[in-house]
Amino acid sequence: MRRVILTLCVVAACACVSYAKVILKQPASADPGSEQSSNGGPSSGERDALGFSAQLNGGVNFLTFRHWDAGKIGFEGLFGFNKDSNQTITDLGIKVLDRLKREQHLTAYCFGLLGIEPYSGSGASGTNTYIAAGLGAEFFFQGLPNLSVCAEAGLGYGSPNSQFGNMAGWLPSLGVRYYYK
């Protein structure tokens, strides 16, 4: 069962990369709905955001930096930290985002994620590496075009624990972003 799910995760990540290659060959003007309206929402051109993402299952919470280029591709850097009485976890990751659909107040995207997660405590320590793929949606508020909330869900695989799960136990997540550029 793990192999089947891992294979599905790798196929989804490859599909996102393949789709991104096709989109990169298209001119940015081919993106429908890329103009900014007076009601807010995403605009054409490069945008940068700072944000916070919380895992719904009580996992690591992240500070994020998101960058969308003028086309459909984006990148997001993640830094997470969690310390409780039993263990300490630091999480570093990078997401590659591919915008699937952009509406006036909503952006749907797929993502691929690579990360490392050093941990220690409870008599064990090590570094977990993981790969993941999933889907996300970002909602922009009318009248507040630089503020968004987002939700993501997906599948991932991590090691050395070789545990497979819903994003290796750290997604689904909810987040908030502020676009300053």
Conformational region of residue 73, where left means phi above 0, alpha means psi within -120 to 50, and beta covers everything else: beta
Q: Whole-prediction pTM value? A: 0.70
- Tens of pLDDT along the chain (181 residues) come to 455 444 545 555 555 555 545 545 555 444 433 444 433 445 557 889 999 988 776 667 889 999 998 888 999 999 988 777 777 878 899 999 999 998 889 999 999 999 888 878 777 777 888 888 899 999 998 888 899 999 998 887 777 554 444 344 446 788 999 999 8
Domains present along the chain, CATH in parentheses: 2-26+45-179 (2.40.160.20)
Intra-chain end-to-end CA distance of the chain, in Å: 44
How far apart CA 45 and CA 35 sit, in angstroms, is 9
